[in-house]
Amino acid sequence: MPVRKIAKFLQPLGLAALGLAVLAGCNASNPTKSSGKAQEGYESLEDLYIVDCLLPGQVRRLGNMQYLSPRRAVRTTTADCRIRGGEYVEYDRADYRSALKVWLPQAEQGDAEAQNYVGEIFEKGLGQEPDYVSAISWYSKAAEQGYSRAQINLGYMYEKGLGVEKNITTALNWYRKASGIGDDELILNSEAQKEIAATREKLNAQLASSKVQMEFLQKQIANLTKEVEKQTQLAQQNQNAADAKELEFARQEIAALTELYEKALNDRNALEGQLNDMEVAYRKFSSGDFLAPQVLGKVENRVAKDINFGRYFALIIGNQDYVFLDDLRSPIQDGKRLQQILEQKYGFSTLFIPNASEKNILNTINNFYEQIGENDNLLIYYAGHGNISRSDQSRTERGYWLPVDAGKDNISNWINNSVISDHLDRLKARSVLVISDSCYAGYLGSEKSPFLFGVSGTQSEKAIQAGLARRARVVISSGGVKPVLDGSNKTHSIFAGALIDALEQNRDTLRDSALFAQLSVNVRKRSEFAEEVQIPELKPVREAGHEGGSFYFVPVN
């Protein structure tokens, strides 16, 4: 059994030793994948996987004529695809050619959703090296049609410089288009402001260096030109062939210096253009920090200032009593307390699953497809073991949730974050917030971006309406992509305790990023006295279709 690391608290502060421990199972040795057969007595878990499905065409009638419409592509479960008579690739799902076969025909006909999927196929690589240039091309086609998911993806590519020259201004403009918020409502969070300041500083430094280079070249060209004119007059008087050759060499040098000067001039103009673009893009942003919660007043009946926030559902998973791994101490009591708060204070309809298996988790999320509508909100809370794995064929690390029957070195029934992401993408819910208190939970989200959460609105009615108008797929992880601390049998984990306190103490409409701001500070403070400093992370789940929307907690009373 792995050795637990017990947190040591400072006695002068009067903090008793709470028995906090790093979640066991975070460092399993190179796990392997078994045959993947379902356990005896279960239906196949393959039925719950999300695939690219080609549905048969519809038999339609036009007057007296009957005809078959083209086949339609959808993202759904293997079981649903089979029931509806669809076609999907049962094996080699990681082959990008099989995925392209489904979506490319619709994309070429101008369907924005299909174009975005094709872009994601090229960006992910799916069995080959990512093709960012092709991804950019398809994202652009969909983004130009106003498809917000593609606008988010395109902004991200510009922000990170994938397949295109890095351009923060262009990235932010695409995020702004996806947000649907007017310029007069837009503000930047502190992290985005720091990134912008650093970009400006870098551009100004490059501009200063370019100007120095230009001045130096100008002086060299002027001095050399003056000397050539002088020597030309002397050469004409002496008619010396050697002097003539030297003068020709000098003229060639002037031509080369002039070419360098013109390049430096173009570089300077380009840098000035970037700075001007930044000023135009940011001039309407306020200097405020949107993470600070603002009071809208008391709200009742899930409505605030005539804003309908929709229905709220929560799936709470507390995996504590493991069959093959070390038991954990607090997930079940963490989940029960969270369930009470969500039901009593925020009006959620909740489902709590203690000690869940792989089938329990995937089947429950899959059933939400029919139960949760387009205007609803879903919170998924997971507390339990987490782990990472990297296959021999891939350099990419994958994150996993571990069901209670998970084996230490066998990933056959570990739940890959990409499987969770696929289900989140399929759900019709307007906003989905995943809160994960486990090791390496940050792998569920995309690479951290200060700008995906940097463009937002104030807590005004207009800004909230805009936040509700877009899909939200967001994950708050308890410790990013690192191990985290478990609680004791009498206390909550550091992260769960901070989450419970924040939701209990809140009195106003609370946005996901505002909740994270409180969690981030409190978790860091609470973990300063432990052996492991814990740093939560807030990330978008782009692969699940995050479109820049927000998840809001609205107290019932």
Query: Are residues 229 and 336 both part of a single domain?
Result: no
Q: Are 443 and 417 in contact (CB under 8 A)?
A: yes
Domain that holds residue 449: 303-553
Beta bridge partners of 510: 553
What is the rounded distance in angstroms from the CA atom of residue 390 to the CA atom of residue 334? 30
Residues 365 and 257 in one domain: no
State residue 264's pLDDT score.
82
120, 145, 179 - which closes a domain: 179
Q: Are 473 and 432 in contact (CB under 8 A)?
A: yes
Instruction: Tell me, yes or no, whether 447 and 344 share the same domain.
Output: yes
In the prediction, which pLDDT does 377 show?
93
Query: What does the DSSP assignment read for 289-325?
Result: -TTS-------BTTEETTEE---EEEEEEE--S-SSS
Residue pair 380/415 in contact (Cβ under 8 Å)? The answer is no
Looking at the domain assignment, is residue 184 inside a domain?
A: no
Q: Within this chain, do residues 515 and 377 fall inside the same structural domain, yes or no?
A: yes
CATH number at residue 426: 3.40.50.1460
- In this prediction, residue 236 carries a pLDDT of 66
Contacts of 467 (CB under 8 A, 6+ apart): 456, 457, 511, 549, 550, 552
Whether 49 and 127 map to the same domain: the answer is yes
HSE at residue 148, side-chain half, CA atoms within 13 A, is 20
- What's the DSSP call for residue 22? E
CB 314 within 8 A of CB 348: yes
The verdict on 389 and 531 lying in the same domain is yes
Pick the last residue of a domain from 224, 250, 282: 282
| Integer angstrom CA distances of residue 394 from 35, 129, 292, 415, 490 | 19, 10, 41, 18, 42
Rounded CA-CA distance 497/525 in Å is 12
H helical segments located in 34-167: 78-83, 96-108, 112-124, 132-144, 148-160
pLDDT at site 393: 44
Same-domain pairing of 251 and 349:
no
Task: Report which of 464, 480, 476 is spatially closest to residue 540, judged by C-alpha positions.
Answer: 476
* Cβ contact 126:100 at 8 Å: no
Name the amino acid, one letter, at 79. Answer: A
pLDDT number for residue 333: 93
CA–CA distance, 49 with 418 (Å, rounded to integer): 10
Is residue 335 within 8 Å of 318, Cβ to Cβ? yes
Nearest to 303 by CA among 503, 557, 23: 557
Q: Which residues contact 280 (CB under 8 A, 6 or more apart)?
A: none
Query: Are residues 380 and 526 located together in one domain of the fold?
Result: yes
Helix H, strand E, coil C: the string for 516-534 is HHHHHHHHHHHHCCCCCCC
Tally of domains in the chain = 3
Amino acid at position 10, single letter:
L
Q: Does residue 4 fall inside a structural domain?
A: no
Given this model, what pLDDT does residue 26 score? 58
Of 131, 148, 179, the residue at which a domain comes to its end is 179
pLDDT tens for the chain, 557 residues long, are: 233 232 333 333 333 333 444 444 454 445 655 444 444 333 566 777 788 788 887 767 676 776 677 778 888 888 888 778 787 765 444 456 777 888 888 899 999 988 998 898 888 876 677 889 999 999 999 999 989 889 889 988 988 888 988 887 788 788 878 876 655 445 555 566 666 777 777 777 887 888 888 888 888 888 888 887 777 777 666 666 556 677 777 788 888 888 888 888 888 777 777 766 665 555 444 433 333 333 323 334 466 678 889 999 999 999 998 988 888 988 999 999 999 999 999 989 899 999 998 888 888 888 888 888 899 999 999 999 988 876 544 455 778 899 988 887 777 788 988 888 888 998 999 999 999 998 887 677 666 666 666 555 556 777 788 888 889 999 998 876 666 665 555 678 889 999 999 999 999 889 998 899 898 888 888 877 766 678 888 988 888 888 888 999 999 87
Asked if 436 and 531 sit in the same domain, the reply is yes
Q: Which helix (H) or strand (E) holds 207?
A: helix 190-238
**What angle, rounded to 10 degrees, do the helices at 494-505 and 512-527 form?**
130
Residue 19 located in a structural domain: no
What is the pLDDT, as a whole number, of residue 332? 93
Residue among 449, 435, 441 at smallest CA distance from 553: 435
Q: Does one domain contain both 327 and 468?
A: yes
- Structural domain contains residue 29: no
What is the pLDDT, as a whole number, of residue 452? 63
| Token duo for residue 164 | 């295109």
> Considering the domain boundaries, does residue 342 fall inside one?
yes
- Please report the pLDDT score of residue 551 as a whole number: 94
d(CA 246, CA 253): 11
For the CA atoms of the chain, what is the radius of gyration? 29
* Residues 103, 542: Cα–Cα separation, whole Å: 18
pLDDT at 240: 60
Max intra-chain CA distance, the chain: 107
